[in-house]
């Protein structure tokens, strides 16, 4: 098992990764300038890395906002400690080590994030329900921030949340970022034996959750034209209130979850019972904007209730596709998600 050491021991691990792991000398002149207190040089070194490190923090923490905080904490630690950077490893590796430990500190304070499927079985009847404010919900991630597709797929990030923080970190450092076991041991201040053991346990959990070899999710292989067609047909079906058109897009075992609502539905009949009872008939008028989230197709859903003049931000709905049909819908409800995607809070009543 990993030791749950924090504070000074983690910062010592970050420093040891820099000074001991690699014999290669890093000769970027900005390193020398930053080491002597030149903040502009430090910014030039870390700015190209911020997007990918932010994605790493999201994978660790399951929340864009938590990732924002962890990245800022990591950059602050890196700036304060840059005088110890000896150039024996890349700035990228060092920053990943620091950000990983910042994320582990956050995990110890807050715990893991969840989706409705983690809380209980699928609902057998349509439920009104109320938002669960006592749950730390998994959030979605805008693709504009990162290009490494498999590393931020929703099922993968959700499965990661079932791992203890140190197993989560070890798996990501090894499988996604290509750190060696020895480097991970330095980052985590533990032994290579412990790292290998943690990797084995993490792979077993990931395989049970997403069926992924070596902890990587198997992405749906769907033609881009079919993806666009499914998204457009889904939006049109909801906007017309067309249940027949909607059901034609769904797999038999489709699921629909709507955090922060705890209830979720499994199977075409249950999903359509919910759709007929609520979004197709009772909510109001819908408009949709196609987008992408967690490298998956998605739509931003805007709702205009009776008596209102504009469509207001309602949810970001992320699709999981299989064989050209919708196998999963995850609707992240709340206007706060729209700001993360740089989407407007309202749309006019007509296009």
β-partners of residue 289 are 300
| Torsion angles phi and psi, residue 240, rounded to 5 | -90, -15
Shortest CA distance to 253 belongs to which of 239, 269, 268? 268
Residue ranges of domains in the chain, CATH in brackets:
8-112+162-215 (1.20.140.160), 224-348 (3.10.450.50)
List per-residue pLDDT tens for the chain, 351 residues long.
Answer: 333 333 444 545 454 444 443 334 456 899 999 999 999 999 999 999 999 999 999 999 999 999 999 999 999 999 999 988 877 778 999 999 999 999 999 999 987 899 999 999 999 999 888 899 999 999 999 976 545 555 789 999 999 999 999 999 999 999 999 999 999 999 999 999 999 999 999 999 998 887 643 334 444 456 789 999 999 999 999 999 999 999 999 999 999 999 999 999 999 999 999 999 999 888 899 999 999 999 999 999 999 999 999 999 999 999 999 999 999 999 999 999 999 999 999 999 876
- Burial label, 134 (beta-carbon count in 10 A; 0-12, 13-18, 19+): exposed
Predicted TM-score of the model (pTM): 0.88
E strand map for the chain: 250-257, 264-266, 285-293, 296-304, 310-322, 325-333, 346-348
Half-sphere exposure of 298 (CA within 13 A, CB side): 25
CA-closest candidate to residue 179, choices 12, 17, 6? 17
């Amino acid at each position: 098992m990993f030791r749950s050491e924090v504070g000074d021991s983690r910062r010592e691990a970050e420093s040891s990764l820099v000074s001991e792991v690699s014999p290669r000398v890093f000769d970027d002149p900005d390193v020398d300038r930053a080491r002597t207190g030149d903040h502009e040089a430090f910014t030039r070194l870390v700015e190209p890395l911020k997007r990918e490190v932010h994605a790493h923090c999201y994978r660790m923490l399951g929340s864009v906002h938590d990732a924002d905080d962890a990245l800022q904490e990591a950059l602050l630690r890196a700036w304060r400690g840059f005088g110890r950077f000896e150039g024996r490893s890349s700035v990228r590796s060092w920053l990943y080590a620091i950000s990983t430990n910042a994320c582990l500190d956050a995990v110890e304070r807050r715990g893991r994030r969840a989706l409705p499927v983690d809380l209980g079985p699928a609902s057998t009847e349509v439920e009104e329900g109320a938002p669960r404010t006592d749950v730390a919900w998994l959030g979605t991630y805008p693709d504009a921030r990162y290009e490494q597709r498999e590393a931020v797929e929703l099922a993968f990030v959700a499965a990661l949340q079932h791992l203890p923080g140190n197993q989560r970190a070890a798996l990501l450092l090894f499988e996604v970022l290509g750190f060696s076991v020895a480097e991970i041991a330095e980052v985590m201040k533990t032994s290579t034996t412990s790292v290998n053991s943690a990797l084995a346990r993490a792979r077993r959990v990931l395989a049970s959750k997403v069926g992924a070899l070596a902890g990587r999710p198997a992405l749906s292989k769907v033609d881009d034209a079919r993806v666009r067609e499914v998204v457009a047909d889904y939006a049109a079906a909801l906007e017309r209130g067309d249940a027949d058109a909607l059901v034609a897009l769904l797999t038999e075992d489709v699921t629909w979850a709507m955090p922060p609502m705890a209830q979720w539905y499994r199977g075409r009949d249950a999903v359509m019972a919910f759709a007929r009872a609520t979004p197709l008939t009772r909510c109001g008028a819908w408009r949709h904007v196609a987008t992408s989230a967690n490298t998956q197709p998605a739509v931003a859903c805007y709702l205009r209730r009776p008596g209102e003049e504009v469509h207001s931000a309602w949810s970001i709905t992320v699709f999981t596709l299989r064989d050209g049909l919708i196998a999963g819908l995850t609707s992240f409800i709340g206007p706060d998600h729209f700001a993360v995607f740089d989407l407007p809070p309202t749309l006019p009543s007509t296009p």
